[in-house]
């Protein structure tokens, strides 16, 4: 039996957004009708940035609204895409006259609704570019007609570097290009010891035996392709890291940005163990972790699990990553 801290489960998303915005009155504003979280002070004369998707992944996306990152976040119901109308209103709200980049995690519903919103916002003479985030290595089937890799924790990096580029005055194409560069280079692997539970439900989305680990989970509680034996923190980290290293083909001397991301109920001590093993392994391989983020940034309700994201870094990406940011979930 799992319990949740909720009022009416149907009111969870709007009430949570209200709580977020009340907690950050100088940073954020709420447009209730379409569930948009916007900057308190709208940016001027820059490319707008809108992202969004289903709820349940907090602090993504609304936690990344603010100077140096998103202009607008659009929230759907738990694990359900916002509607095209919501995204359209979000895109209009993000527009400051220089076009809008839409950052979209690769899921059928999200892609459909963002594409439609982009097409219709053309009626209002708003130019849009979609940056699709598809970093999940576990769903890399190589099938060109398939839905492709899912979008997961690399979304944070895409939102950060696009945000910084827009703040620097880059134009629509430039902001989209740097986001696509990150999206195409970044890869993520995830595992879970326990699935998340929908608010108001009493049972998790799937159950695992005590000696089982779900390897290659996404962020919507869907089952993964592989179930492997449970093992200790170092060996669990290796399960994530080995396929990433094989895929990215990193060489001695390369530099990466690493995200050790909790999926909802992994606690900080656990994440630090994963970070420790990651550093030891990459040090042995001669690969420098030049920048890193350890914490819960892209979650799946209360899933007990962790994801590891690696992004090869170059000077431009490092500069954009280091640029100032002021949002509820990321500030420096």
Partner 1 sequence: MTATTPSAPLGDDVGRDLVRGVCETLGAAADTLGDLDRRAGDGDFGTNIRTALALVDENIAADDPQTYRQWLTALFMGWLGVGGTSGPLFGMFFRDLARAADDAPPTAAQLAEALAAGQATVQRYGEAEVGDKTMIDALEPAVTALRGALEDGREAADALRAAEEAAVQGARSTARITARRGRASYVGDASQGVIDPGAAAVALVIGAARAAVAGGGSPDTSWIA
Residue number with CB closer to partner 1 (141 or 173): 141
Q: Which of residues 230-249 bind partner 1 (CB under 8 A)?
A: none
Question: Residues 38, 83, 139, 190: which binds partner 1 (CB under 8 A)?
Answer: 83
Q: Please return the burial class of 97, using the count of CB atoms within 10 Å of its CB with bins 0-12, 13-18 and 19+.
A: exposed
Is 34 known to be catalytic? no
Q: Is 96 in the site for partner 1 (CB under 8 A)?
A: no
Scanning 191-305, the segments in alpha helix (DSSP H) are: 233-248, 268-285
| Smallest distance from partner 1 to CB 84, Å | 4
Q: Is 91 in the site for partner 1 (CB under 8 A)?
A: no
Q: Please return the burial class of 296, using the count of CB atoms within 10 Å of its CB with bins 0-12, 13-18 and 19+.
A: buried
Question: Scanning the structure block, which residue is given the tokens 């920048």?
Answer: 291
Is 57 known to be catalytic? yes
- What is the C-alpha separation between 26 and 140, in angstroms, rounded? 41
**Spatial CB neighbours of 318, under 8 Å, sequence gap ≥ 6:** 255, 257, 290, 291
Residue number with CB closer to partner 1 (54 or 305): 54
Q: Please return the burial class of 232, using the count of CB atoms within 10 Å of its CB with bins 0-12, 13-18 and 19+.
A: exposed
Question: Residues 75, 81, 307, 309: which binds partner 1 (CB under 8 A)?
Answer: 81
Residue number with CB closer to partner 1 (22 or 225): 225
Q: Is 327 in the site for partner 1 (CB under 8 A)?
A: no
Question: Residues 38, 51, 86, 152: which binds partner 1 (CB under 8 A)?
Answer: 86
Residues in a beta bridge with 307: 190, 261
Residues in a beta bridge with 245: none
Residue number with CB closer to partner 1 (71 or 89): 89
Task: Select from 147, 168, 95 the least CA-distant residue to 323.
Answer: 168
Instruction: Point out the catalytic residue in the list 57, 61, 198, 304.
Output: 57
| Smallest distance from partner 1 to CB 143, Å | 14
Question: Residues 52, 68, 76, 179: which binds partner 1 (CB under 8 A)?
Answer: 76
**Spatial CB neighbours of 300, under 8 Å, sequence gap ≥ 6:** 56, 57, 192, 196, 217, 218, 219, 220, 221, 263, 264
- What is the C-alpha separation between 36 and 74, in angstroms, rounded? 5
**Spatial CB neighbours of 192, under 8 Å, sequence gap ≥ 6:** 208, 213, 214, 217, 224, 263, 300, 303, 304, 305
| Smallest distance from partner 1 to CB 305, Å | 25
| Smallest distance from partner 1 to CB 220, Å | 14
Q: Which of residues 99-138 bind partner 1 (CB under 8 A)?
A: 108-109, 112-113, 115-116, 119-120
Contact 138, 190 (CB under 8 A): yes
**Size of site (CB under 8 A) for partner 1:** 17
- What is the C-alpha separation between 153 and 133, in angstroms, rounded? 9
Instruction: Point out the catalytic residue in the list 24, 34, 198, 220.
Output: 220
Return the range that interacts with partner 1 (CB under 8 A); candidates 57-65, 72-80, 154-162, 290-298: 72-80
Residue number with CB closer to partner 1 (16 or 116): 116
Residue number with CB closer to partner 1 (107 or 321): 107
Binding site for partner 1 (CB under 8 A): 76-77, 80-81, 83-86, 88, 108-109, 112-113, 115-116, 119-120
Query: What are the catalytic residues?
Result: 57, 220
């Amino acid at each position: 039996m799992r319990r949740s801290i909720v009022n009416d489960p149907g009111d969870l998303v709007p009430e949570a957004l209200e709580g977020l915005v009340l907690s950050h009155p100088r940073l954020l504003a709420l447009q209730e009708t379409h569930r948009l979280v916007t900057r308190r002070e709208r940016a001027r004369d820059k490319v707008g940035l809108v992202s969004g998707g289903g709820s349940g992944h907090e602090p993504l996306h609304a936690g990344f609204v603010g100077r140096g990152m998103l202009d607008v976040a659009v929230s759907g119901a738990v694990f359900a895409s916002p509607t095209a109308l919501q995204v359209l209103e979000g895109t209009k709200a993000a527009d400051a006259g220089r076009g809008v980049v839409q950052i979209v995690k690769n899921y059928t519903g999200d892609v459909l609704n963002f594409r439609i919103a982009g097409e219709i916002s053309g009626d209002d003479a708003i130019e849009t570019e979609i940056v699709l985030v598809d970093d999940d290595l576990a769903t890399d089937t190589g099938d060109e007609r398939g839905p492709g890799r899912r979008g997961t924790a690399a979304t944070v990096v895409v939102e950060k570097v696009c945000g910084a580029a827009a703040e620097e005055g880059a134009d629509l194409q430039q902001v989209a290009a740097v986001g696509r560069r990150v999206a195409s280079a970044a890869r993520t692997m995830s595992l879970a010891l326990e699935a998340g539970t929908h608010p108001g439900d009493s049972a998790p989305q799937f159950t695992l035996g005590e000696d089982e680990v779900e390897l290659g989970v996404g962020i919507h509680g869907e089952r993964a392709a592989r179930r492997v034996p449970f093992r200790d923190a170092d060996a669990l980290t290796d399960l994530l890291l080995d396929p990433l290293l094989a895929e990215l083909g990193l060489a001695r001397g390369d530099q990466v940005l690493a995200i050790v991301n909790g999926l909802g109920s992994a606690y900080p001590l656990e994440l630090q163990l994963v970070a420790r093993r990651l550093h030891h392994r990459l040090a042995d391989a001669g690969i420098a972790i030049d920048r890193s983020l350890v914490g819960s940034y892209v979650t799946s309700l209360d899933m007990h699990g962790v994801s590891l994201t690696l992004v090869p870094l170059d000077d431009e990406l490092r500069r954009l990553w280091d640029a100032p940011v002021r949002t509820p979930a990321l500030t420096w």
